[in-house]
Amino acid sequence: MNISIFGLGYVGAVSLACLARDGHRVTGVDVDAAKLALIREGKTPIVEEGMIELMRSVAASGRVSVTDDVLAAVLESDISMICVGTPSAANGSQDQSALVRLAHDLGRSLREKSASHVFVFRSTMVPGSVEDVLAPIIERESGKASGIGFHVAFQPEFLREGSSIRDYDKPPFTIVGAASEPPVAALRSLFGHLPGEFVQTSIRTAEMLKYSCNNFHALKITFANETARLCQGLGVDSFEVMDLLSRDRQLNISPAYLKPGFAYGGSCLPKDLRATIHLAKMCDVDLPMHSAIPASNRVHVDHAIARVMACGKRRIGMIGLSFKTGTDDLRESPLVQVTEHFIGKGLDVLVYDPEVHLSKLLGANRRFIEQHVPHIGSLLRPDLAEVVSASDLLVLGLNDRATLDALRPLLHEDHMIVDLVGIAEPQSLRGQYAGLCW
Ligand SMILES: NC(=O)c1ccc[n+]([C@@H]2O[C@H](COP(=O)([O-])OP(=O)(O)OC[C@H]3O[C@@H](n4cnc5c(N)ncnc54)[C@H](O)[C@@H]3O)[C@@H](O)[C@H]2O)c1
């Protein structure tokens, strides 16, 4: 395939070298004349393991050329990969000036080309950039329509500096965000042989995914480092703790707890996090990330409350009360906090939870209701139909299919539904779906 690559920094230079190695003809484009000169001489413009030898060999193959002429590069290629930098602006926003300038040049060049062209954006960019900013610029400048005269895609790059070539050859997966088939087919032929799943998704999802991956990596590093500081304060071996933590593939290094849903609560996480934060204070260890977790959890609860209050209904049916599905444990349940808020605002509230009936509750949980939330105990109903018929708005707080199935036939068209856990398929519910809580 004939490929043009715009931006010959870490991402662009490694892509150029690897694609040429794999037999493609690649034209590299950069505004930096020094980088172009280096590649012309068969030298690498970046310091990366394996790049010196690889650049030398692909330059010798005759499959690599470089230019600062955008028009020539577009005319001579079928597909362009855009890898220019997207640094931070002073206020933290993304500086897209290089991307925007380039999009103008690409659009003007496309005007001169009769064949269709594929633009694959590989620079990390905030969601919406390709469809709302860059594709419209190319449309205006070229006079052609996106999806007809040209195609756009976003393919996040997952390589890490220091191991770029190895990462290029062994990505975790290949993600292609596209709204039309030509870019997907082209990228499948370029990258389909690589290990890892090839996944097609929307452009916005792919854009957001790149940020979520990087943010998650930053979170993991910070978690490990905060844990290490606390361990040091306590005289515990942090390497051993983190090594053992990583060996749990069921709950720790796994998809567990990574599905959006409602706030955490219950008898363990809140109290143990509080104790950790207190312990750190005792050791004079600062743990800003751990300390921010309860506040973030509270924001999630407040957001749900605001969502329900904004619906303006006064008769509320809470479907679920315990801190998670399948238990009757009410200790530090965020659904209890939500329910208490509604009661405090003078709303009429009834509660259904298949695991929480006063008549069924035993020992500690019964005592908990009687001592701590007696006002909620009196609102509990064992019959779902009674709660539904007495409510104008239903708050889904249980991730329980059986309860959802039982609820469906009881709904009428005037019911509003707010889903806190992401269980409801809105189209399958009679009533007005007021959306997810977040
Ligand atoms: N560096 C990484 O490990 C990495 C990994 C994944 C994604 N990314 C993302 O990829 C993008 C590129 O990152 P990088 O580290 O390779 O950047 P970089 O700063 O090393 O290189 C960017 C290159 O783009 C060139 N450029 C600027 N304007 C241009 C234009 N109009 N036409 C042609 N070239 C132009 C610059 O001269 C420079 O050589 C960024 O959005 C980054 O967030 C980087």
d(CA 158, ligand 1 centre) in Å = 13
Task: Tabulate helix, strand, coil % of the chain (nearest 5).
Answer: 45, 15, 40
Residue with tokens 């790049």: 51
* Spatial separation of the C-alpha atoms in residues 241 and 273, rounded to whole Å: 17
Binned at pLDDT 50, 70 and 90, residue 438 comes out as: low
Active site residues: 268
- Over the stretch 358-394, which tens digit does the pLDDT of each residue have? 666 677 777 888 888 888 889 999 999 999 999 999 9
Burial class of residue 431, CB neighbours in 10 A (0-12, 13-18, 19+): buried
Phi, psi for residue 224 in degrees, rounded to 5: -65, -40
Calculate what percentage of the chain has a pLDDT beyond 70. Answer: 98
d(CA 102, ligand 1 centre) in Å = 12
CA atoms within 13 A on the CB side of 399: 14
d(CA 313, ligand 1 centre) in Å = 51
Residue type at 23 in one-letter notation? G
**For the chain, how many helices (H) and strands (E)?**
17, 13
Question: What's the whole-number average pLDDT of the chain?
Answer: 95
Mutating to test ligand 1, I would choose from 4, 10, 122 the residue with most ligand atoms within 8 A of its C-beta, which is: 10
* Spatial separation of the C-alpha atoms in residues 426 and 433, rounded to whole Å: 6
Give the distance from CA 9 to its chain's centroid.
25
Helix (H/G/I), strand (E/B), else coil: 282: helix
Q: Copy the structure tokens of residue 53.
A: 């030898």
Mutating to test ligand 1, I would choose from 5, 6, 11, 137 the residue with most ligand atoms within 8 A of its C-beta, which is: 11
For residue 125, the ligand 1 atom closest to its alpha carbon is: 41
What residues line ligand 1, using a CB cutoff of 6 Å? 6-12, 29-32, 35, 83-86, 98, 101-102, 123-124, 157, 159-161
Burial class of residue 80, CB neighbours in 10 A (0-12, 13-18, 19+): buried
- Over the stretch 79-102, which tens digit does the pLDDT of each residue have? 999 999 999 999 999 999 999 999
Give first-to-last CA distance, the chain, whole Å.
Answer: 44
Query: What is the DSSP annotation of 171-218?
Result: -SEEEEEESSHHHHHHHHHHHTTSSSEEEEE-HHHHHHHHHHHHHHHH
- Over the stretch 305-357, which tens digit does the pLDDT of each residue have? 999 999 999 999 999 999 988 888 888 999 999 999 999 999 999 999 998 87
Q: What is the pLDDT of residue 261?
A: 94
- For ligand 1, atom 44, name the residue with the nearest CA: 11
